[in-house]
Structure 1
Amino acid sequence: MALLIAVAASLGVHALLLFAPEFDLPPFPEPPPLRAELKPAPAIETPLEPPPKAALTAASKGPAKHRQARAAARPPKPAPVLQAHASPLAVAAPAIDSPPSTAPAIDPPPSTAPAAAAIGPLALATPSAAAAGMPDASRLPARGTIRYRVDRGDQGFMIGQSTHDWVVVDGVYRITAVTETNGLVALFKPFRIELESRGTVTAAGLVPERFSSRREGRATGEQAEFDWQQMQVHVGQRPPQALSTGAQDLLSFPYQLGLLPDLASGTLMPVATGKKYEQYRFEVVGDEDVETPAGSFRSLHLRVGGVSPTELWLAYDRSLLPVKILHTDHKGAIFVEIATSIELSEEP
């Protein structure tokens, strides 16, 4: 009996030391806007020395097979410097207000071509063969559920689970997320937090109106009210702040990313976390294959830099929804959410 009590106490101490989640994004100073324009290098043909006049005369009178052989001996034109990538994203100048496509959803095929070379501080690794904007597959399905396993660290030490649900009806959306500990961690350190984002869906994507949170079933002061008429946002108990076009909240921003037409070039996005309202720069890392319990997905890897960076992997054939989220808190602790199941429907 004493041995069992000692083992339980040891497990409790380890759980308390290991688990200290942080759910909000850190503040970052607003960086200067960056524009990058990619242009293929002009094709340069190696000049050929003209043959003597006598040779030209002989060639014009020679057999056809000799002329064909000489034509085949000419050096080919050099290949373009940048190869077209099979990713369904278009490279464009950052413009948060650009409207996304509203055509029916079509899942694009996984990308297999190599990424282009990085230009400047952003790795623009996903140029598209079509420059018309985001693919139809980026449209948010009318209803969906993504279940995640929550790990502490990147070694698969599971500490909890998270479930994201959303529904869109008549241009109005509601997204909820419930994250809680389970197993031995829940026994020694129970934890449950509920997030909710409500707003409308327009040609520019999600337009949040209210963000709120509940911890252990009770409302917290971490909330945000968006007044789009007065262009003000009320975060927690802070005074009203000027609201920027394209602003999102802590829960809506991962879903808005897949609706942006210029995502492949990186973007700035104002985000209200319930504690603060700051600008965040999302940078494109590149295309990656992600293995999850829900399946293997060709995904776009994004990063939010800063003291507490966050990384997201958006699956191309799942409407650019997040199938993996990694967050490093200000103490250096790593928390990973990885999809275990995805359910999508076009019926609200």
Structure 2
Amino acid sequence: MRIHATTTRLTLAIVGSLALHALVISSARLEMAPPPQPEAPLEARLVPTPPPAVKPLPATAPARKPRTRHAAAKLPAPPIPVVATSTPLFVPPELDYEVTPELEEAPVAGAEPLPTERLALAPESVSAVPVDPQPRKGRIEYAILYGSGDGLPVGRAVQSWEMQDGRYVLASDAETTGLVDVFVPQQLRYVSQGRITSEGLRPDSFLITRTRRGKTEEARARFDWNNGQILYGYAREQKAAALTAGTQDLMSLVYHYHFTLAPPKPGRLRVPVTSGKRFETYEVEVFPEEVIDTPIGQLWAVPMKQLARPGKEHFEMWLAVQYNYLPVRIRHYDRKGAYSGEQIAVEIRVGDAKEMASR
């Protein structure tokens, strides 16, 4: 019985121990995380170090090439210089725009009193010339030359006149020619109208039109002799000034001695002159006669030169004695006093018989 009891107790102890172990193991399984996955085996290899990556630069706009204007195909450069547009093609150059009220200031020191009486055209003493000793019609054709020496031809001008019943009309038309006309085309027209008096010409109106590249500008002067006033300038900005006896325009100044048939005497003159746009006094010196060479032959001529002033253009002209003091050469000087060009007569026609002197 003791053996049996002992056996029974031993069996119970073993069963209890197994039950306890089973409980512990079961409890551990509930709390433990799943076993970690085995890591991939490491593999070591020697590999050459790659070059460092190039860091891209900030995006910038490509450098701009200088813009060039694609003009139309250029013509070959002209072999002659281009006439400056500020220089008139013929007759005395136009000066800076200003009114000179002191038209009767004192004569230049050292000069004899200027014989403005020859140009004085007081309204009360005006009388038409009854007989015209020179032909009633005429025309002069000029070559316009640019530059020093013999000059290069850049244009042509035609001046014409007609008188009837004591009145006159003077006209001048100039235009560029050749390559200058291709690159810098210009046309210039002057028209002077008025009366022929015993003292010379007394203008009533003067018109100037200039066309450049198809654009035309116009200015005119009106001489109100009865009220002693001259109106001049562009239509949009007319100006007025006192009209002094003997006042001329650019055309009547040049042809004054041709219509009076009075030879200009050496000395100095002060003459009020309008260019249509401006009105001021010209100081002109007359020199003794001299012989000059022209395309129509050697001529005796009277030189007349506008006195130069700082910063102003001026002119010089020769009046042919054989042609009743017609202008056969007109020279131009720039604002610095340098010779810039001239126009010279290549043909003269006068009278109904069209007497001609040409090359």
Q: TM-score range by the shorter chain?
A: 0.5 to 0.7
Give the aligned partner of residue 95 of structure 2.
26
Question: Which residues in structure 2 correspond to 1:186-197 (within 5 Å)?
Answer: 186-197=181-192
Amino acid at match of 1:278: E
* Superposed displacement of residue 172, structure 1: 1.1
* Superposed displacement of residue 303, structure 1: 0.6
Q: Over alpha carbons, which structure has the higher Rg?
A: 2
Amino acid at match of 1:183: G
Amino acid at match of 2:194: G
Q: Determine which of 209, 218, 222 is the counterpart of 1:214.
A: 209
Query: Residues of 1 paired with 2:199 and 2:94: CA distance?
Result: 23
CA-to-partner distance for each residue in 1:305-337, whole Å, 9 max, x for gaps? 123121010111110111000111326461201
Query: Residues of 1 paired with 2:272 and 2:202: CA distance?
Result: 12
Query: Residues of 2 paired with 1:328 and 1:335: CA distance?
Result: 7
Q: Percent identity?
A: 27
> Structure 1 residues 218 and 228 mapped into 2: Cα distance closer, same or farther (>3 Å)?
farther
Amino acid at match of 2:254: P
Q: Does 1:339 align with 2:345?
A: yes
Name the SS of the counterpart of 1:184 in structure 2.
Answer: helix
CA-to-partner distance for each residue in 1:98-148, whole Å, 9 max, x for gaps? 69996988xxxxxxxxxxxxxxxxxxxxxxxxxxxxxxxxx6541110111
Q: Does 1:223 align with 2:229?
A: no
Name the SS of the counterpart of 1:251 in structure 2.
Answer: helix
Give the aligned partner of residue 46 of structure 1.
none
Q: Does 1:151 align with 2:148?
A: no
- Unpaired segments ≥5 residues, structure 2: 1-72, 122-126, 355-359
> Structure 1 residues 298 and 102 mapped into 2: Cα distance closer, same or farther (>3 Å)?
farther
Amino acid at match of 1:313: W
Q: Determine which of 288, 291, 310 is the counterpart of 1:289.
A: 291
Q: Determine which of 92, 115, 118 is the counterpart of 1:96.
A: 118
Q: Does 1:256 align with 2:332?
A: no
Question: Which residues in structure 2 correspond to 1:1-348 (within 5 Å)?
Answer: 8-11=75-78, 15-16=81-82, 18-23=83-88, 24-26=93-95, 32-33=106-107, 36=112, 93-97=115-119, 141-155=135-149, 156-216=151-211, 220-236=217-233, 237-258=237-258, 259=260, 263-306=265-308, 307-330=312-335, 332=338, 334-345=340-351
> Structure 1 residues 98 and 347 mapped into 2: Cα distance closer, same or farther (>3 Å)?
farther
Query: Residues of 2 paired with 1:220 and 1:202: CA distance?
Result: 32
Kindly indicate whether the alpha-carbon contact (under 8 Å) linking 1:96 and 1:262 is maintained by their aligned counterparts in 2. Answer: no
Query: Residues of 2 paired with 1:241 and 1:268: CA distance?
Result: 17
- TM-score between both structures, scaled by the size of structure 2: 0.63
CA-to-partner distance for each residue in 1:216-240, whole Å, 9 max, x for gaps? 3876332111111111100113431
CA-to-partner distance for each residue in 1:67-87, whole Å, 9 max, x for gaps? xxxxxxxxxxxxxxxxxxxxx
Give the aligned partner of residue 114 of structure 1.
none
Query: Residues of 1 paired with 2:264 and 2:231: CA distance?
Result: 28
Kindly indicate whether the alpha-carbon contact (under 8 Å) linking 2:267 and 2:287 is maintained by their aligned counterparts in 1. Answer: no
Higher RCO (CA-CA < 8 Å; seq separation 6+)? 1
Kindly indicate whether the alpha-carbon contact (under 8 Å) linking 1:177 and 1:195 is maintained by their aligned counterparts in 2. Answer: yes
* Superposed displacement of residue 167, structure 1: 0.2
Amino acid at match of 1:143: K
Number of equivalences: 254
> Structure 1 residues 144 and 218 mapped into 2: Cα distance closer, same or farther (>3 Å)?
farther
Pairwise CA RMSD: 3.2
- Greater alpha carbon shift after TM alignment, 285-294 vs 142-151: 285-294
Give the aligned partner of residue 56 of structure 1.
none
